[in-house]
Amino acid sequence: MNVIVRAADPRREAGLANELRRAGATGLVELPLVDGYAARVDDAQLDQLRKSGLKVVPDQAFHLEELPRPEQPGLEMDSAARTLGLQTLWDQGLTGKGVAIAVIDTGVAPHPDFEDRISAFVDLVNNRPDPYDDRGHGTHVAGIAVGSGKASQGKYSGAAPEANLVALKVFDHEGNTNSSLIIKAIQFAVENKERLGIRVLNISIGAPPQMSALDDPVVQAVEAATRSGLFVVCASGNRGPWPDTIDTPGIAPSALTVGATNDMNTPDLKDDKVSRFSGSGPTPIDKIMKPDLVAPGENIVSTGLKGDYVEQSGTSMATPLVSGIAALLYQAHPEVQPRQMKSTLKGTAQKIRSYIEEVQGKGVVQPLKAKAALAGTPTRVAADVLATRVEPPR
Ligand SMILES: [Ca+2]
What confidence tens digit (pLDDT) does each residue in 64-115 have? 988 887 655 555 567 788 889 999 999 999 999 999 999 999 999 999 999 9
228 is catalytic: no
Amino acid at the residue 92: Q
pLDDT of residue 70: 65
CA 318 to CA 300: how far, in whole Å?
9
Q: How far is the CA of 142 from the centre of ligand 1 (A)?
A: 23
Q: Choose among 49, 177, 57: nearest CA to 107.
A: 177
CB 160 within 8 A of CB 101: yes
265: left (phi over 0), alpha (psi -120 to 50) or beta: left
State the pLDDT at residue 81. Answer: 84
Asked about 130 being catalytic, the answer comes back as: no
Q: How far is the CA of 319 from the centre of ligand 1 (A)?
A: 18
CA of 19 to the centre of ligand 1 (A): 57
Residues with pLDDT less than 50, the chain: 379-394
Q: What is the pLDDT of residue 243?
A: 97
What pLDDT is recorded for position 9? 86
From the candidates 59, 105, 133, 272, give the one annotated as an active-site residue: 105
Q: 195 burial class (0-12, 13-18, 19+ CB within 10 angstroms)?
A: exposed
Instruction: Give 304-309 contacts, CB < 8 A, sequence gap 24+.
Output: 304/109, 304/111, 304/136, 304/139, 304/140, 305/109, 305/133, 305/136, 305/139, 307/111, 307/112, 307/151, 308/151, 309/74, 309/143, 309/151, 309/152, 309/156
Whether cis (ω within 30° of 0) applies to the bond prior to 73 is: no
Which pLDDT score is estimated for 323?
Answer: 98
Q: What pLDDT shows up at residue 389?
A: 39
Q: Where are the beta strands (DSSP E) in the chain?
A: 2-7, 26-31, 36-40, 54-58, 61-63, 100-105, 118-123, 164-169, 176-178, 198-203, 231-235, 256-262, 273-274, 293-296, 300-303, 309-312
Q: How far apart are CA 379 and CA 363, in angstroms?
A: 17
Rg (CA), the chain: 20
Q: Which of 173, 111, 161, 121 is nearest to 310 (CA)?
A: 111
Please count the other Cβ atoms lying within 10 Å of the Cβ belonging to residue 137: 21
Q: What is the distance between the alpha carbons of residues 265 and 226, in angstroms, rounded to a whole number?
A: 33
Q: Give 296 Cα–ligand 1 centroid separation in angstroms.
A: 9
Query: What confidence score (pLDDT) does residue 77 get?
Result: 60
Is 208 exposed, middle or buried (CB count within 10 Å of its CB: 0-12, 13-18, 19+)?
middle
52 is catalytic: no
- Centre a 10 Å sphere on the Cβ of residue 340 and count the other Cβ atoms it contains: 22
One-character DSSP codes across 121-142: EEETTT--SS--BSSSHHHHHH
Residue ranges covered by each domain of the chain: 2-59, 66-389
- Calculate ∠ Cα 294-93-383, nearest 5°: 45
Residue from 113, 137, 275, 280 carrying the catalytic annotation: 137
CB 355 within 8 Å of CB 281? no
Furthest C-alpha separation in the chain: 63
The answer to whether residues 394 and 339 touch, using CB atoms and an 8 Å cutoff, is yes
Distance from residue 341's CA to the centre of ligand 1 (Å): 24
* The length of the chain, given as a count of residues: 394
Cα 154 to averaged position of ligand 1 atoms, centre (Å): 21
Decide: 102 and 198 in contact? Cβ < 8 Å: yes
Query: What element of type H or E holds 317?
Result: helix 315-332
CA of 273 to the centre of ligand 1 (A): 8
| Separation of CA 379 and ligand 1 centre (Å) | 22
In CATH terms, the superfamily for domain 2-59 is UreE, C-terminal domain (3.30.70.790)
pLDDT at 386: 39
Q: Does the domain made of 66-389 have the CATH classification 3.20.20.80? A: no
Round to whole Å and give the CA distance between 198 and 132.
20
**Among 278, 316, 323, 343, the one annotated catalytic:** 316
Instruction: Give this prediction's pTM.
Output: 0.94
User: In a 10 Å sphere around its CB, with 0-12 CB exposed, 13-18 middle and 19+ buried, how is residue 302 labelled?
Assistant: buried
d(CA 250, CA 136): 22
Phi-psi region of 52 (alpha: psi -120 to 50; beta: other; left: phi over 0): alpha
Q: Residue 360 and residue 18: Cα distance in Å, rounded?
A: 47
Model pLDDT, residue 1: 96
